[in-house]
Chain A
Amino acid sequence: MLELRKDIFADERDDNLKEIGKGTQRQDMLGHITGTSSYFGDHKLQGMLHLKVVRSAQAHARLRRIDTTEAERSAGVRRIIRSADVPRNLNTLLSLINFGKDDEPSLAVDKVRYKGEPIVAIVADSEREAFEAIAKVRIDYEPLPTVFDVEEALKPGAPVVNETYPKNAFIYHDVHDHQKLRFGDADAALATADHVLEQRYQMSPIEHAPTETNGAIAAPDTNGRYVVYTSTQALFFSVDTCAKILDVPSNTFHFIGGTVGGGFGGKVDTLTEPLAILAAMLTGRPVRYVFGREEEMQYGPPRGAERIFIKDGVMRDGRIVARKIRAYFDSGAYTRLSSYAAVKCAAHLPGPYTIPNVHGDVYCVFTNRTPATAMRGFGVTAMDFAIECQMDKLANLVGMDPMEFRILNAYRDGDMKAHRREAKNTALIECVQVAAEKAKWPIREEFRRASSRKDGGGSRAVIPPTPADARARPAAPVQQRTSYDRLPPTVTREPPREPPPPTPPPSSPRPAAPSHGATRFSSVFGTRRR
């Protein structure tokens, strides 16, 4: 239990909060409704230049030749920026927390890996003149074989998207090509389950579609510093990313954020600031770089598309005894934040349920698609969609009410979660009960009486014996037809599960010793600061 030292932090927290259930005015609402909120794009600086990038017309190609001679002579062009002009062209966002290898250039070198990848930047007096110069850049592509499917990308002999990760999978802890979760023996439990249901779930990329597109204005300031007005939703993250790419101390910049005109995760990638600042450095003038709407929609990073396979073993009485999950995150051509999404996803398995045998493999895969990034609960939302669809199908399979089925399998305080932490403050049972009540959905008395605080722990707190797995990657399963829609309703209603028989003493590979927060954080990401 956290204790707040009120003698030191007297003003830190109001213990008399009474906010829930009351209308509270947002602090930025007055500005929004009166049209006075200021955005980065509201700054019109004297002598401001405009930057536009030439984007790849190919999804995967070697760059044979980039001819900018005609573009350089185009009216109003002040500067053409090439990859060699970027001090540290190669970067990966999470390198700031020592996670992952630098894999993405600000401007493409030798090769493009997705359609729309920036190749050269043009700085001109007006946007129009920049567009006219873009039309005069000649790029000689040598098309390469492409791969757009996550499972195809992992097959031997697939085209190598990103040479930093030659097997098209993000590498964790320098060795593992995926996140692995093992708890108990899922295969053995599946073999003895009354029903086994295997399903495939495929998500689509989702664009954040902000009203304000990504953009930044950078201007030379006094003492060799630069002031940067930006749409970023992660200001200090963007400062440090720019400092790394431009190879200067971060106090070179004065970043001014403000109202973000719609973020949702789509404005953490720091796509416009480094080039805008570099252009300001190279020209000595203020430079504005803002995505057009089509750029935002087509090349701005989306939520990645996940492909998820779930194989569950369930008993006739409704107890889920095994859950086996394989998930592929389509990261697109570069890592951005998908590596972290896979970590979050693995940490989330098997959902808010106590299942004695869990087996999870989560891959972060590179394909020739637009790089994906953060978006509202990424890593978890898609998996939850798949898990909850699966829960409905399982309830149907065993002839149980879906609400009661969830209460039966819900985790309770004191249960051992698959990643070997004790479940605390669980409240799924109560949530389902309230949802059922509000929806006037009848559930039986015993389920109305269930509580997250009762009947947890004990044998449910035990870590089951967990066999180490063989090295080989499992073969791709075939999509199984669900009997969801045509299954006759089963009337047998059996009592909720008895607690499973006590299992032999745990053989946890790592003792769950409490450790310092920062160390724990870096261990989640896989690369400790050394």
Chain B
Amino acid sequence: MAVTVKTFTSAGEAAGALSSDRSARYLGGGTLVMRALNEGDVSISTVIRANDQALTRIDASGPRVTLGAGVTFARVLAERDLAFLHAPARSIGGPAVRNMGTVGGNLFAQSPFGDFTVALLALDATVAVAGGFGARDVPIEEFLQARDRQAGTLVLSVSCTRPASSEAFRYRKIARIKPKGGAVITLAAHLPVSGGRIAGARIALGSMAPTQIRARAAERALEGRSLDAATIAAAASAATEGTSPSDNALGSAWYRREIVGVHLRRLLSGQE
């Protein structure tokens, strides 16, 4: 059976087609779906596309930022108002991949990919999805926990609140091959400060579990404290709590557990 490509002009129609066909896969930039097809993944028989303008819209003028699911990393990098997302966008692939890869697609990328999603998780993003029952907003954490069951839903956009300052949001990707390698681990931290103390810390980790996860124990170690050496050490030593990394060609689970605290310490203390 040949692969059928269906292109729709509205995201709603595409979402309807996606939810009604178990062998359908939505093609954003194609960096994941085309790879799977080229490697002989016969579980995909239908490729769904949508050329709905709404999917490629960027709204970055206000404190709340919204990125259409079809926005590419190259476009994120071209947008001056999205400077806080430039580090994660730049960490993905090479120019060719960044020209095609999309924010929405990254939500489905398995380890060692999905770095942008780590940043979005730390920023407490909201994912707007359209399924068989219409559109709704889902907190990113909830979305990721149910990612394996999201096959029939179409992501429309992702939104998050702009961090108060460049210091408040930090990102670090550890790769063996630079600049294009897959991640050994990825870290992002959102550290809002109120009266000299951290309030509402969120730390997200990539490649430390089957999906991107939060390092809640490390967050607790930071909460209500100033970002001094003792606090950073406490957060770093709690970094592995609740993680379940696995082995792959880039690193073993053991290695990931060993280094995550080291890199979290460097991230929090502002070291390169």
Contact = CB atoms under 8 A, between A and B. Distances in A.
Interface stretch (A125-133, A380-388, A416-424): A125-133
Q: Is the interface of B mostly helix, strand, loop or mixed?
A: loop
A52 B42 CA distance: 14
Contacts of B1: 75, 128-129, 132
A293 interface: yes
Nearest to B44: A128
Q: How large is the interface on A (under 10, 10 to 19, 20 to 34, 35 or more residues)?
A: 10 to 19
B40 A134 contact: yes
A76 to B, nearest CB: 9
B39 A294 contact: yes
Nearest to B35: A293
B78 interface: no
Given A128-B2, A128-B3, A132-B1, A52 B40 contact: yes
Contacts of A135: 42
A145 interface: no
A135 B1 CA distance: 13
Contacts of B38: 292-293
A292 B37 CA distance: 11
Interface string A204-240: 0000000000000000000000000000000000000
A404 B39 CA distance: 53
Interface in B90-139: none
A83 to B, nearest CB: 22
A129 B37 CA distance: 12
Q: How large is the interface on B (under 10, 10 to 19, 20 to 34, 35 or more residues)?
A: under 10
Q: Is the interface of A mostly helix, strand, loop or mixed?
A: helix
Nearest to A130: B40
Nearest to B43: A135
A292 B40 contact: yes
Contact of A293 (B2, B3, B39, B41): B39
A159 B10 CA distance: 61
A293 to B, nearest CB: 7
Contacts of A126: 2
Contacts of A293: 38-39
A132 B39 contact: no
Contacts of A52: 40
Contacts of A134: 40
A286 B38 CA distance: 21
A129 B3 CA distance: 10
A266 to B, nearest CB: 17
B140 to A, nearest CB: 30
A134 B41 CA distance: 11
Interface in B1-51: 1-3, 37-42
Contacts of B3: 128
B86 to A, nearest CB: 29
Nearest to A75: B1
B94 to A, nearest CB: 13
A132 to B, nearest CB: 5
A134 B40 CA distance: 10
A64 B2 CA distance: 32
B32 to A, nearest CB: 14
Interface of B: 1-3, 37-42
Given A131-B41, A292-B39, 13 more contacts: A52-B40, A128-B3, A128-B37, A128-B42, A129-B1, A131-B40, A131-B42, A132-B1, A132-B42, A135-B42, A292-B38, A293-B39, A294-B39
Instruction: List the 7 shortest-distance A-B pairs measured between CB atoms, nearest first.
Output: A131-B40, A132-B42, A292-B39, A131-B42, A135-B42, A294-B39, A128-B3
24 contacts: A52-B40, A75-B1, A126-B2, A127-B40, A128-B1, A128-B2, A128-B3, A128-B37, A128-B40, A128-B42, A129-B1, A131-B40, A131-B41, A131-B42, A132-B1, A132-B42, A134-B40, A135-B42, A292-B38, A292-B39, A292-B40, A293-B38, A293-B39, A294-B39
